A = this chain, B = another copy of it.
Amino acid sequence: MMLHHKVTTEAPIGIFDSGIGGLTVVKAVQAALPFERILYFGDTARVPYGPKSQVTIRKYAADDTAMLMRYQPKIIIVACNTVSALALDVVQKSCGVIPVTGVLRAGARLATEVTRNNRIGVIGTRATVSSNAYGIAINEFNSEIEVVSRACPLFVPLAEEGFIDHLATRLIAEEYLAEITREGIDTLVLGCTHYPILRKVIEEIVGPEIRIIDSAEAVALRTRELLEESGHLSSSLKVSAPHLLVSDLPQKFSMLYQLFMGSELPDVELVEV
C-alpha cells in the first residue's frame, strides 16, 4: 500500500507497448477520456516482442513497467498483447497498488458480452495465438464459449508499410480469414494493436454478420470504468498531446505516428531501458 498516496486524479495514464502499435490504444484512450494526460512508452529498441522467448518477454515487461513507474501513473495499460498474454503478473508485481489493465483481458471481456451464439474468433500474432491467452481469458469469463483463433503474422508489416487498400493485403487477408469465418463465429477479436489499421479490409472480408471487437477500444472503455470506480478521473478540462517515451528513434517514426494517430508527431523523449 506504500504507493497508494501517490495516486492523484491529475497523475497520467501510463501505457506501454513493445513498439508503436500501442498508439492505437493511445488514440482510443484519447477518444474515451479526452481530458486525461497520457504517458506512452514504446520499447522501439527491442520491438517486436512476439517472436521472443517467454523469459525475455517477462524481463522486458518488468523494464517497461519500471520506466512508466518513474512518472507515478494512476493506472497502467498494457497495450502489448504479447505482454498481456505472457507477463501481466510481472507488470502487476512491478507496480504495487496501481491498477493494471491489459488489451487482452479487456478485449476478451467485451467479446464475451457481445457474442450471442457463444462462438468467438481471435486473430493475432503467432505468439499471441499460440499462447491461447485469449481463449483462456474468454473462458474465464464464460466457460461455455468456443474460441477459434488464427495467426496473421503479415498484418503487422503490411499495416506499418501502409499497404492498407492494396490487393496484396486483400489476398493475404482472405487467406488468413477464410477458415475462421467458416467456423460460425459471430464475433471476431482484433488481438493485435496493429490490426485496427487494417479494420476496413478485415470487415469487408468477414462481412456484416460478424461483429469486430477492437481490443484497443475495449481497453480504453475498461480504463474509464476503472477510473470512475476509484474516483480517479481527471478534473481538468485541458486536452494535451501524449507524452511519448521511446527506447530508440526509428527512422520512419514520424510517418508511422501519422499513420496510427492521424496527427503530427509531438516531442518525443529518448530513454534507455
- Chain A residues in contact with chain B, CB under 8 A? 44-46, 51-53, 56, 126-127, 130, 153-154, 156-158, 161, 163, 166-169, 171-172, 175, 248-252
Among B127, B158, B248, the residue within 8 A (CB) of A52 is B248
User: What 4 A-B pairs have minimum CB-CB distances, sorted nearest first?
Assistant: A168-B168, A157-B157, A51-B250, A168-B171
Q: Is the interface of A mostly helix, strand, loop or mixed?
A: loop
The 23 sampled A-B contact pairs (Cβ below 8 Å) are: A44-B52, A45-B46, A45-B56, A51-B251, A52-B250, A53-B248, A53-B249, A53-B250, A53-B251, A56-B248, A126-B251, A126-B252, A154-B157, A154-B158, A154-B163, A156-B157, A157-B157, A166-B172, A168-B169, A168-B171, A168-B172, A168-B175, A171-B171
Q: How far is the CA of A252 from the CA of B52 in the complex (A)?
A: 9
Say how far A169's CB is from chain B's closest CB, in angstroms. 8
Besides A53-B248, A168-B171, 12 other CB < 8 A contacts?
A45-B52, A51-B250, A51-B251, A126-B252, A154-B158, A154-B163, A163-B172, A167-B171, A168-B168, A168-B172, A168-B175, A171-B171
Instruction: Give every chain B residue within 8 A of A161 (Cβ-Cβ).
Output: 153-154
Instruction: Give every chain B residue within 8 A of A126 (Cβ-Cβ).
Output: 251-252
Instruction: Give every chain B residue within 8 A of A252 (Cβ-Cβ).
Output: 51, 126
Q: How far is the CA of A154 from the CA of B158 in the complex (A)?
A: 7
Instruction: Give every chain B residue within 8 A of A250 (Cβ-Cβ).
Output: 51-53
A251 touching B130 in the complex, CB below 8 Å, given contacts A46-B46, A154-B157 = yes
Give the nearest-CB partner of A250 in chain B.
B51
Q: How far is the CA of A248 from the CA of B45 in the complex (A)?
A: 15
Q: How far is the CA of A252 from the CA of B44 in the complex (A)?
A: 22
Q: How far is the CA of A175 from the CA of B126 in the complex (A)?
A: 27
Say how far A202's CB is from chain B's closest CB, in angstroms. 15
Say how far A178's CB is from chain B's closest CB, in angstroms. 14
Q: Counting chain B CB atoms within 10 Å of each CB, which of A45, A56, A161, A168 scores highest?
A: A168
Instruction: Give every chain B residue within 8 A of A53 (Cβ-Cβ).
Output: 248-251
Instruction: Give every chain B residue within 8 A of A46 (Cβ-Cβ).
Output: 45-46
Give the nearest-CB partner of A54 in chain B.
B251
Q: How far is the CA of A171 from the CA of B52 in the complex (A)?
A: 30
Say how far A160's CB is from chain B's closest CB, in angstroms. 8
Q: How far is the CA of A169 from the CA of B171 in the complex (A)?
A: 10
Instruction: Give every chain B residue within 8 A of A158 (Cβ-Cβ).
Output: 154
Say how far A45's CB is from chain B's closest CB, in angstroms. 6
Instruction: Give every chain B residue within 8 A of A52 (Cβ-Cβ).
Output: 44-45, 248, 250
Instruction: Give every chain B residue within 8 A of A127 (Cβ-Cβ).
Output: 251
